[in-house]
């Protein structure tokens, strides 16, 4: 097997949970092979560069092997060389108070309002 449909490969590589999701991403213009937006029936071969906006984030990879059936996670990772940028840092969450600490003091309440942007 030298070539396989891009929607089948995306599903086999576990970038999308189903072939239908991979097809919809291709039709929506979220998948590019060698810099060109592709249809789901486009063939992909070893050496192609795939860029996709997957549920886990931006994926950029080089095809090392092709498969048309969904594989286990370790085997799926062997299908491509992942060149994706690292994910952005997580946003700072609301400060948490210890459980059972009682009501916030006036100083803590003002700090919380200032943090939320609801200053008095």
Inside any domain, residue 73: yes
Structural domain that includes position 56:
3-82
Helix (H) or strand (E) holding 31: strand 31-33
Give the residue carrying structure tokens 């799926």: 76
User: pLDDT tens, 56-73?
Assistant: 889 999 999 999 898 899
- Chain-centroid distance, C-alpha 87: 9
Report pLDDT digits (tens) over 12-61: 999 999 999 999 999 999 999 999 999 999 999 999 999 999 888 899 99
| Mean pLDDT calculated for residue range 93-101 | 74
**61 lies in some domain:** yes
- State the CATH number of the domain containing residue 36: 3.10.290.10
Domain assignment of residue 57, yes or no: yes
Number of domains in the chain: 1
Q: pTM of the prediction?
A: 0.72
């Amino acid at each position: 097997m030298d070539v396989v449909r891009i929607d089948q490969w995306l599903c086999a590589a576990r970038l999308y949970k189903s072939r239908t999701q991979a097809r919809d991403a291709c039709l929506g213009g979220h998948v590019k092979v060698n810099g060109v937006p592709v249809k789901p029936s486009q063939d992909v071969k070893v050496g192609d560069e795939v860029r996709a906006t997957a549920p886990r984030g931006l994926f950029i990879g080089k095809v090392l092997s092709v498969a048309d059936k969904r594989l286990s996670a370790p085997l799926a990772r062997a299908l491509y060389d992942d060149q994706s940028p690292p994910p952005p840092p997580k946003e700072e969450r609301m400060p948490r108070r210890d459980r059972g600490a009682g009501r916030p003091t006036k100083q803590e309440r003002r700090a919380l309002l200032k943090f939320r942007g609801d200053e008095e």
